[in-house]
């Protein structure tokens, strides 16, 4: 287990009007463990993330003028194996609270519901990073690289940065041999993870 991918980051509170923006210095911290320069990044549930030639966003809310104005669970407009990194920051919906509706006026986004599409548009060898309040099971065809707990100060709920790597095409079957269950396997809990309580984003 590489300690730089399995640790705790103390970040500052998100600064900005938009609800659920990345914690302060989050991208800088990520850049310290995965050098991002020159990599093509898709921010799945991108919100107000700054776009440029290397940073593209997907969002369902036209108000944030995303690169792709579409549902992050249906990325049909994007070909397979396009991005070096997918960074997903979905609303933290749970069985108890529908933050999608409450904060963004959108339909509920269930944990795991966006993962298959994220993996599809990710290049083999690329990283899939999911920021959430859950430790996710690894997606099919990926291996787990790390789990980073992120604090943003007192009274703020902890977040989890799940980091997975998409296996080379030929190694896809190896993901079954690691002993860890994957999200695609039939399991009672695969799509109904332990309840998350929270103040949301």
Q: What burial class does residue 23 get, using C-beta atoms within 10 Å of its C-beta: 0-12 exposed, 13-18 middle, 19+ buried?
A: buried
Is 49 near ligand SAM (CB under 6 A)?
A: yes
For ligand SAM, the binding residue among 18, 39, 84, 171 (CB under 6 A) is 18
Does the footprint of ligand SAM cover residue 45 (CB under 6 A)? yes
Q: How many CB atoms lie within 10 A of CB 44?
A: 27
Which residue is associated with the tokens 């579409």?
A: 70
Comparison of 71 and 140: residue with beta carbon closer to ligand SAM = 71
Q: Under the criterion CB under 6 A, does residue 89 sit at the interface with ligand SAM?
A: yes
> Looking at beta carbons, which residue is closest to ligand SAM?
47
Out of 41, 75, 106, 115, the residue judged to bind ligand SAM by CB under 6 A: 106
Instruction: Give the pairing type, strands 55-59 and 68-69.
Output: parallel
| 83 part of the interface to ligand SAM, by CB under 6 A | no
CB of 87 to ligand SAM, least distance (A): 8
Does the footprint of ligand SAM cover residue 48 (CB under 6 A)?
Answer: yes
Q: What is the distance between the alpha carbons of residues 173 and 82, in angstroms, rounded to a whole number?
A: 21
Closest separation between CB of residue 125 and ligand SAM, Å? 24
- Compute the least distance from the CB of residue 55 to ligand SAM, in Å: 11
Q: Which of 23, 91, 146, 193 binds ligand SAM (CB under 6 A)?
A: 91
Contact status: 112 vs ligand SAM (CB under 6 A): no
Contact between 93 and ligand SAM by CB under 6 A: the answer reads no
Give me the least distance between CB of 8 and ligand SAM, in Å please: 20
Q: Which of 186, 134, 179, 122 is nearest to 160 (CA)?
A: 134
Which positions lie near ligand SAM, rule CB under 6 A? 18, 20-22, 45-49, 58-61, 64, 71-73, 89-91, 100, 104, 106, 109, 201
């Amino acid at each position: 287990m590489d300690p730089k991918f399995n640790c705790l980051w103390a970040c500052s509170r998100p600064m900005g009007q938009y609800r659920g923006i990345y914690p302060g210095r989050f991208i800088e911290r990520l850049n310290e463990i995965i050098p991002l320069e020159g990599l093509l990044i898709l921010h799945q549930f991108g919100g107000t993330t700054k776009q440029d030639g290397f940073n593209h966003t997907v969002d369902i809310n036209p108000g944030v003028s995303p690169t792709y104005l579409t549902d992050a669970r249906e990325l049909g407009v994007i070909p397979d194996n396009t991005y070096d990194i997918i960074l997903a920051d979905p609303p933290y919906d749970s069985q108890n609270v529908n933050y999608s509706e409450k904060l963004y006026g959108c339909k509920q986004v269930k944990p795991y519901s966006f993962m298959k599409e994220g993996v599809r548009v990710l290049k083999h060898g690329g990283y899939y990073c999911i920021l959430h309040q859950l430790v996710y099971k690894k997606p099919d065809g990926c291996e787990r690289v790390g789990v980073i707990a992120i604090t943003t100060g007192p009274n703020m709920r902890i977040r989890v940065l799940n980091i997975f790597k998409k296996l080379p095409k030929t190694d896809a079957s190896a993901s079954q041999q690691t002993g860890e269950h994957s999200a695609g396997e039939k399991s009672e809990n695969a799509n109904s993870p332990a309840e998350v309580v929270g103040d949301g984003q």
